[in-house]
Structure formats: structure tokens, C-alpha cells
Amino acid sequence: MDSYGDPFALGVESMDTEHRRLATLFSQFTAAIQEDETPDRARDIVQEALALANEHFAHEEEMMAATAYPATEEEKFHHRNLRLQITTLVGDTLSMPACSQVMLENLAEMERLLFEHINGPDRDLAAYLNAQGIR
């Protein structure tokens, strides 16, 4: 699928697969919150998503090191910042007793951060990796 039909298709299949899985977990987390599932279910999803995000960032950083990506330090900084923002939003969201306007705003902000990262720094990284012959 091309990038017009799939927002996660950046041209590096391993990154695309990880992005799709993160988006799926985000959707499951949102549904768990909005449908007022057990707090344990939402926490399980979040823990899986955070573990996957850490694996994803490590994987990207390995590819950057292997190809001498010129913006490696900026991307690593972006990863650290994104982890902090998402972790803070998740913690705030999970501490709320029920679905509220603030909770919905937190969910929308997490989604924005995820898509902004994929369509910004990750798109640039994927283009660089493609130029290095990595698909």
C-alpha cells in the first residue's frame, strides 16, 4: 500500500509494521478508556504499547547507527521527549476515575504526538534509509 492509502507506509517495512502495531494498541487503549473497561485492561494495553515503543525506538536507533544517519542525535532527543510526553499523558489519563473531557483531550494529544512523529522525523528517517537501500 502506498503512503496515500496507508499513513504508516513510509517504505521501511519493519518501521511500518511497528507503527501499525502502536496505532492498533493506541486504538485499543482509547476504546478501553471510552468503554470504561477494567482499569487493569487499560494498564495492560499501555504497558504493551510502552514496551513496543521502547523496542521501536531502539530498532530505529540501531538502523540510524548502522547507516550513519546524519540526524541521529536529534532523533534520539525526539524519542526521549516523546517517551516523556506520552508517559505523562498516560499516567494522567489512567489516574482519572471515568471518561471525561480532559481524558478525551489527553487521548487526542497522544494520537497527535504519535502521528506527528511518524509523519515528521520517522518519514525523514525512512527516506534516508530507502536511499541507503533499506526497504
Scored b (16 or more CB within 10 A) or e, 107-120 reads beebeeebeebbee
Range of the domain at 50: 13-131
Which CATH number characterizes residue 66's domain?
1.20.120.50
Q: How far apart are the first and last CA of the chain?
A: 13
Question: Span 118-130, mean pLDDT?
Answer: 96
Residue 17 inside a domain? The answer is yes
Residue 43 inside a domain? The answer is yes
Q: How many CB atoms lie within 10 A of CB 75?
A: 20
Residue 2 inside a domain? The answer is no
- Which phi and psi angles does 44 have, rounded to 5°? -60, -45
List the one residue out of 82, 67, 79 whose CA is nearest residue 127. Answer: 67
What local confidence, expressed as pLDDT, does residue 1 receive? 40
What local confidence, expressed as pLDDT, does residue 94 receive? 82
Residue 4 inside a domain? The answer is no
The backbone region for 71, taken as left when phi is positive above 0, alpha when psi lies in -120 to 50, beta otherwise, is alpha
**Is 99 in contact with 33 (CB distance < 8 Å)?**
yes
Residue 7 inside a domain? The answer is no
Residue 6 inside a domain? The answer is no
- The total of structural domains in the chain comes to 1
pLDDT in tens, 50-100: 889 999 999 999 999 999 999 999 999 999 999 999 989 888 888 887 777
Check whether 132 has a pLDDT greater than 80.
yes
